[in-house]
Amino acid sequence: MFNLILKKLTKDPKNLKDPKVRSLYGLLCSLLSILLNLILFGCKLLIGLILKSVSITADAFNNLSDSASSIINLIAFKFSIKPPDKEHPHGHGRYEYISSLIVSFLIIFVGFSFIKSSIEKILSKETTSFSWPLFSILIISIIMKILIGLLNMRISKKINSQSLKATGIDALYDALITSVLSISILISKFTSFSLDGYAGLGISIFIIYSGISLIKETLNPLLGEAPDDKFVFEIKKNILKYPDILGVHDLIVHNYGPNRTISSIHVEVPAHLSLVDVHVLIDKIEKDIEDDMGIHLVIHMDPIDVQDETSIEMFKHIKHILKTNVYEINDIVDFRILNEHGKNKIYFEVKLRNDSFENHKEILEICTSIVNKNYPNFECKIYKNNTFS
């Protein structure tokens, strides 16, 4: 049904690179989630009031907050497709991350609001009524919640949406919560001991926990997280397939929302190539990466002397002695031998095993001492490589 509606609303529903098509997926998914969650809220609230169950009532308002979450997603998808402007030159894609953050805080608020009610129910020792027809409605609501969760998760993967992923995870949590509620209500039918208040307390704590987890997950792209290994592998593989590209390093990724990625990377090219040839090659790679991966890539050129045997042997030897004698060294990059004002100089950067080493200055001094000892006729300049991937 979802796909049929999409086909009626857009001519090319598979063109997810089009921001309008992608936004349409998010808008439609959010609308369906709002409708289903409002139905669930009404049904569960009625059941909770009839059975005098604080846990079911808490779960009902949790569904109402889910509707509010989907409304926030709806607004976010609408604003996120706004084109770049003077104040926001990289677009408005991060509206989706902000909406995820708001959804997470709403989830936590609902959890805290029902902790008090659950404790009061435990202390009052009030029993909960039971009705098979109403119990059946709870089972149906579990199925509906699973469908909402699976829909949001499926569309979130399809369009790479953090906000829909958060909504989908929350919906699947809700299905689990309602399942626990149903079991506690059923047990209460056959025993004088009421589990309702305890179930409500457990649900409230679980809701708060899921909200905090979603906040952590949502803050990562807002704060600027490291690219995942799959992304790094793909972009490096796509660059290294071109002739005359000897190596890549220093990949930096800036995420301005789903499908709005700006990156920079250093590529090593033979030093004997002309500047024009290198420019043509790099320009082609940047355009191809944007077409194939949707990434705006800026490439910095590092010339490598591949014709001077002495330079090549020095590079291999220095790399070997440093990796052998200094544990913290993972690799060396951007190696150059230059003659400046009659002085022979060696320049390169070291990549550390752990970029958080606080004593990196001391490590650089040790490396410099080792190189100077082996090559006393050269002045050595070593820098720490800013390893982002």
pLDDT of residue 10: 66
Q: CB 178: neighbour CB atoms within 10 A?
A: 27
Higher-pLDDT residue of 52, 272: 272
3-state helix, strand, coil in the chain (%, to 5): 65, 15, 25
Residues, the chain: 389
CA distances from 58 to 119, 140, 158, 236, 299 (A): 12, 18, 32, 49, 54
Angle between helices 162-189 and 19-51 (to 10 degrees): 20
Structure tokens at 94: 């991060």
For the entire predicted model, the pTM comes to 0.59
Q: Which residue has the tokens 């190539």?
A: 273
Higher-pLDDT residue of 147, 207: 147
Exposure string for 111-137, b = 16+ CB within 10 A, e = fewer = beebbebbbebbeeeeebeeeeebeee
Q: Which residue has the tokens 């079991």?
A: 183
Higher-pLDDT residue of 42, 197: 42
| Res 339 pLDDT > 80 | yes
CA gap 167, 165 in Å, rounded: 5
User: Which H or E element spans position 205?
Assistant: helix 196-223
Highest-confidence range of 20-29, 164-173, 342-351, by mean pLDDT?
342-351
| Res 389 pLDDT > 60 | no
pLDDT tens-digit map of 275-306 = 999 999 999 999 999 888 878 899 999 888 88
CA gap 52, 43 in Å, rounded: 14
pLDDT of residue 306: 81
* Contact criterion met (CB below 8 Å) for 62 and 115: no
Q: Which sign, positive or negative, has the C-alpha torsion 111, 113, 117, 122?
A: positive
| Res 13 pLDDT > 60 | yes
Identify the three-state secondary structure at position 171: helix
DSSP state string for 109-144: HHHHHTHHHHHHHHHHT------HHHHHHHHHHHHH
Band (pLDDT 50/70/90 cuts) for residue 64 is confident
Structural domains of the chain ordered from first start: 2-223 (1.20.1510.10), 229-304 (3.30.70.1350), 309-384 (3.30.70.1350)
CA gap 362, 368 in Å, rounded: 10
